[in-house]
Chains A and B, each alone.
Chain A
Amino acid sequence: GQQLNQSPQSMFIQEGEDVSMNCTSSSIFNTWLWYKQDPGEGPVLLIALYKAGELTSNGRLTAQFGITRKDSFLNISASIPSDVGIYFCAGPGGGGADGLTFGKGTHLIIQP
């Protein structure tokens, strides 16, 4: 089945720094999604990408759909404490018409 590899697995950064994380897949995707999960909560959709090469922003977050359609990147600029959490990439597959396959997540930890 499809596999998504996220890196890094975890990041320890200082408040105010920029963050970059990425996700690669073993197969071509037509959609890339980025979710954030806070402790004890469900994943919340941050950005959805539907076209190869697409660059989409949501406030301080920017995500790109890789040209090869096998990767995606998420950047967070000027990190703040509430950015702490687990960031998951997801793509189609895993069951059902809208079902998703998830990466294992990137844990973002911000040191004040």
Chain B
Amino acid sequence: NAGVMQNPRHLVRRRGQEARLRCSPMKGHSHVYWYRQLPEEGLKFMVYLQKENIIDESGMPKERFSAEFPKEGPSILRIQQVVRGDSAAYFCASSSLDRDSPLHFGNGTRLTVT
């Protein structure tokens, strides 16, 4: 998973605060995916973005969650007014849409809401 950079690795927020998670895709990749992983669970799709466009946000809660992938800079997953249930590991993955290059994941951001 080298190449996809996520920060911070750990983030602690109090209920009601905002959380901002950043992801820089692998060099040459213009497609970014965000996944959420709860303890003892697999990864669940949240949102798929290309540069400046949200392509599929069907897995993202309608309220408090938003994502962007600007022309310059990393992709941002933003969670407003966090609640305890938002505590999870959030993983970013990138791809180039090459069939022989499946998703490559970052090391995740572990969000803890106190």
Contacts and interface: CB of A to CB of B under 8 A. Distances in A.
Contact of A45 (B40, B102, B106): B102
B102 A96 contact: no
Contact of A94 (B59, B97, B107): B59
Contact of B1 (A33, A44, A99, A102): A44
A88 B59 contact: no
Contact of B42 (A44, A95, A98, A104): A104
Given A95-B58, A95-B59, A99-B56, A40 B107 contact: yes
A94 B108 CA distance: 19
Interface residues of B, number: 32
Contact of A42 (B55, B56, B99, B106): B106
Interface residues of A, number: 25
A61 interface: no
Contacts of A43: 1, 43, 91, 105
Q: DSSP class of A's interface residues: helix, strand, loop or mixed?
A: loop
Contacts of A76: none
Contact of A96 (B55, B91, B100): B55
Nearest to B32: A96
Interface of B: 1, 4, 6, 31, 33, 40-48, 55-56, 58-59, 91, 93, 95, 97, 99-100, 102-108, 110
Interface of A: 4, 31, 33, 35, 40-45, 48, 50, 88, 94-105
